[in-house]
Amino acid sequence: MEYFVNLDSVVRRIWSKADTVLFIFAGSAAEFALNKAVDWLYFTGKLPADPLGRLFSTVEYARRIVFAERAAAEQAIDTIVSIHAAVEAKRGMRIPDWAYRDVLFMLTAYSISVFEAIERPLTAAEKEEIVDVFYRMGSRMGIPEVPATYAEWQLARQAHLENDLVVSSYTADLYRQYRRHLGAFRYALVLQAQRFVVPPRVRELLKLGRWSWLPLALPLYRPTQHLALGRWARASLMPTQYRAQILALDGQSVAAGARALQPQ
């Protein structure tokens, strides 16, 4: 059986743990707010109405592709293309190729930075694996100029950070929506996570500040991450409607116990 991502790939390890996926989610939420093409997501109305759901949808699509057989993964990618084509037809405009590349850059970047922040440094070969997975996603989508190597990706990523991020009225509104949907306590935790994993340019534009207490808390959390306490803590980070999805990120055995673990 042929898979889109090899069974022994570090990419599977990264995307199989709720911890890493939640940090990828937090970093992505920051960059979505600065993306010059965020108006496309406002055009559909889905992002301001349910920003957490829209971001989870993006992350979950990527995760499904990572674990799918090749044919199923390619079908999922084709579905993404058709969804965007329908939005383009409705608006009468084409989504710029660079906007697609920016999302791929974001998923690549946080796959690397989050794993290295909470697990260990990646090898050069592992970084190439990560870039290759998202390169193949982009190629299947028909996106031109997606970097095929880590060295090329580094240059393109830096250019993206310098040229393709902007603070706009959408930025402020999206952060208001994050706070409204998360509540004050969870919103504060997301800000801590963002300070921990986003690059300096993103921190600067969003005025997030530099210091996060999460690096101090991680050594205390790691021994509990596979226990009921750790799963409860992860589920507590998001509103009730997303808790089953978070618990399921760690596998079916975790999802089966979701009801007993859900905080009141």
Q: What is the pLDDT of residues 100-144, one digit of tens each?
A: 999 899 999 999 999 998 889 999 999 999 999 999 999 999 999
Looking at per-residue pLDDT, the higher value among 170 and 1 belongs to 170
Q: pLDDT at residue 99 above 70?
A: yes
User: What pLDDT does residue 257 have?
Assistant: 30
What pLDDT is recorded for position 238? 62
Which positions ≥6 away from 198 have C-beta within 8 Å?
27, 30, 31, 206, 208
The count of domains in the chain is 1
Residue 192 resides in a domain: yes
Mean pLDDT of 200-207: 95
Is 15 among the domain residues? yes
pLDDT tens-digit map of 170-183: 999 999 999 998 88
Q: Token pair for residue 16? A: 């199989």
Query: Predicted confidence band at 262 (pLDDT cuts at 50, 70, 90)?
Result: very low
Chain Cα centroid distance, residue 71: 23
pLDDT digits (tens, 9 = 90+) for 212-244: 777 767 766 565 555 554 555 555 666 666 666
Mean pLDDT across 36-57: 76
Q: Is the dihedral of CA 14, 20, 22, 25 positive or negative?
A: negative
Q: Is the pLDDT reported for residue 7 higher than 70?
A: yes
- 11: exposed, middle or buried (C-beta count within 10 Å: 0-12, 13-18, 19+)? buried
Domain enclosing residue 41, as ranges: 10-252
Q: Which residue has the higher pLDDT, 255 or 200?
A: 200
Query: If DSSP codes are grouped into helix, strand and coil, which group holds residue 69?
Result: strand
In a domain, 5, yes or no: no
Is residue 136 in some structural domain?
yes
Lowest pLDDT segment from 66-75, 90-99, 190-199, 246-255: 246-255
Give the chain's mean pLDDT.
Answer: 83
CA distance 76 to 33: 25
Q: Is residue 260 part of a domain?
A: no
First to last CA, the chain: 42
Domain assignment of residue 259, yes or no: no
Could you tell me how many helices (H) and strands (E) the chain has, helices first?
Answer: 17, 0
Look at residue 257 and tell me if it is in a domain: no
Q: Burial level of 114, CB count in 10 A (0-12/13-18/19+)?
A: buried
Task: Reply yes or no on whether the pLDDT at 6 is more than 70.
Answer: yes
Residue 40 in this model has a pLDDT that exceeds 70: yes
Q: What does the alpha-carbon distance between residue 125 and residue 136 come to, in Å, rounded to a whole number?
A: 16
Distance CA 27, CA 114 (A): 9
Q: Is residue 133 part of a domain?
A: yes
pLDDT at 253: 31
Statement: residue 258 has pLDDT above 70: no
- The single-letter code of the amino acid at 11 is V
pLDDT of residue 64: 84
Rounded to 5°, the CA angle 146-151-157 comes to 55
